[in-house]
Structures are given as structure tokens and as C-alpha cells.
Amino acid sequence: MASVLLHCPLNISRSLEEMMKEYCQKMGEKNGMQVKVEVQPHRPTEKGLFEMYLEKGDMPELIVGHVNDFAELPEGFLHEHFRSLPGRFPLRQELVKTGFTDPKGYFHPFAIIPFAIFYNQNLLEEKDLPRVWEDLLDARWRQRILMPDEYRMVSKIITTFMEAHYPDKFADFQQNVIHQGAPMDVVNAVDEGHYPLGITNIAFARISRNKNTRLIWPQDGIFCMPQVMVWSKKADERLLEIGDFLMSREVQEYLALQTFVPASPDIAIPQLLADHSFKLRWEGWEHYLSIIKGSKA
């Protein structure tokens, strides 16, 4: 039996799990093979499935979702255990130009998740908004920026990025931020006026119940997180069809509805992103993995 490990943000994990299980069942029946989809628990007290596989020394045939676990692999492990498939899953040109093509051919993005800064328009005037990420280090934001609980992926990633890019002032950022609740709790708190600023996954940040929130488009780009597909060397060639499914119109349009950047060149960029000429803050795979390595992300 082939194993697929799915580790994506909670807001898309359940839907992707259902879509993948349905597809894998049909694919298995067609090809005469069994495929099991395992989903990483989102509770912080539970051990990660990737870590459990690593301890056994036997990786699943396909890993879908966060790339962060790969940053901690021992030297040479990626080359020894995973397949390089350069060019197998073509990316949209906007992502190619930004540097999301893995030159080594291991990581195949199927979506990019932007992380958004947003604000309460009743508490802040446009002239007072932060224009770049470094502005969030200013003392005027002391205890005024709300983010989800520290164990949630968005908080891990943003905290890690801020420390890497502004090491001398990172303590200021820590003093400015309050961690509390799930992403939707953060949106509601800013929407209700309890905090002027919030940061979370754009799928949550783009809307609010009372419509008091607005997104900020940093001049230096939006921090983001790729969602990838990685195949082990033991994976049957037919399992590459799962990648074709994840790049299909059905899945890519679903991801675009979350205001994620779809990797497929056949699917339009979400209108909200296109209207603001968005720019992703990305400095390449080596840089991303080096920042994540050794962090709590």
C-alpha cells in the first residue's frame, strides 16, 4: 500500500483530504493499487507524522503540503530518499520569475499562501499604516499587533521571518505582538476594535463579519509559504498522477478561492491579488530552508 502524507493549513486540509481520498480511490481502482492518505494532526500535543516516518527510516511515497519539515533533514537525506523531477509540473510564469522553481527538482509547488497584515479602519487612518514589514518594529505598535497562538503555522513562519530579516530589532517585534486564538479569532478581535493590527493567512484576513477591516499591501512584498508535492524514490510512477490532480482545474480553482496563488498557469490569479499588483517576498529555496532550519517553524 502506498502512503500519502498531507500536512496543509487547517482551513484547506479537510477539503483537500476529501478530494484526494476520492481521487486516490478511483486511481487505485484503475491501476490496481491501494493508496492511503494520512493527515497530519493539527493539535500541538501530537507528534508529527513526518517525524515518525523519519524515525522509522521509511518515508511515505508522497508528501503534500508544508515544506518546513524538510529543512531539518540530515545532509544528503533528500537526495538519497526523494525523487528529483525537474520540469514535471510546470509553474505559472509569475512564480517562475519570482524563483519558485526548485532548481534541484525535489519541491513542486501547487499553491503559494500569502500572509496578510490587516487593520481596523475605524482605529487607524491610512497615513498611519505600516508601509513595510520593518514598520511593525516601531514602538507605537507595542502590544497592538494580534497574531494567532504561537504554535500555529502562520505565527511560526512570520516570527521566524521577522527574526531572520531584522535580528537586531527582533525583540521589539516580540514586544509588539500578542498571540491569542485561532486565525478567525484574530480577525474578529481586530474587526471588533480590540486591536488595530492583525496578521494571519490571507484566506482569513480578507473578510470580516462587521467589514471594519482592510488589508495592507507592504511595499517590500507579502511574506508567504509554498505548499509542495515531494515524491520518494520508492514511489510508483503511477503516483505522479496525484500531482496532476493537485494541479488540475478542480483543485487549483478551489485554492484560488482561498486567495492563494495557484501554481497552475491555466488558472487566473485571484482578483483581490491582481487588483493590488501583489508582490510575494521570496528569496529562493535555499534561503527559505536556511531560515526555517533550526527554528520552531
Q: How many CA atoms lie within 13 A of 132 on its CB side?
A: 6
Predicted confidence (pLDDT) at residue 194 exceeds the cutoff of 70: yes
The second-level CATH assignment, the architecture, of 114-222 is 3-Layer(aba) Sandwich (3.40)
Count of C-beta atoms within a 10 Å radius of residue 258: 19
DSSP summary character for residue 221: -
- Cell numbers given for 244: 496532476
pLDDT in tens, 216-241: 999 999 999 999 999 999 999 999 99
Residues 59-92 pLDDT 10s: 999 999 999 989 988 889 999 999 999 999 999 9
Q: How far apart are CA 96 and CA 210, in angstroms?
A: 38
With a cut of 60, say whether residue 209 has pLDDT above it: yes
| Average pLDDT of the chain, as a whole number | 94
Domain(s) labelled CATH 3.40.190.10 in the chain stretch across: 2-113+225-292, 114-222
Mean pLDDT of 282-287: 95
What percent of the chain is modeled with pLDDT above 70? 99
Cβ(86)–Cβ(105) below 8 Å = yes
Q: What percent of the chain has pLDDT over 90?
A: 87
User: What's the pLDDT tens digit per position in 250-271?
Assistant: 999 999 999 999 999 999 999 9
Checking if the pLDDT of 296 tops 60, the result is no
| pLDDT band, residue 207 (cuts 50/70/90) | very high
* Average pLDDT of the residues in 122-134: 97
CB 232 within 8 A of CB 60: yes
Distances in whole angstroms, Cα of residue 90 to Cα of each of 96, 187, 227, 261:
9, 35, 15, 14
267 CB-contact burial (10 Å; exposed 0-12 / middle 13-18 / buried 19+): buried
Q: Give the right CATH number for 2-113+225-292 from 3.40.190.10, 3.40.50.300, 3.40.50.2300, 3.40.190.80.
A: 3.40.190.10
Q: What pLDDT shows up at residue 140?
A: 97
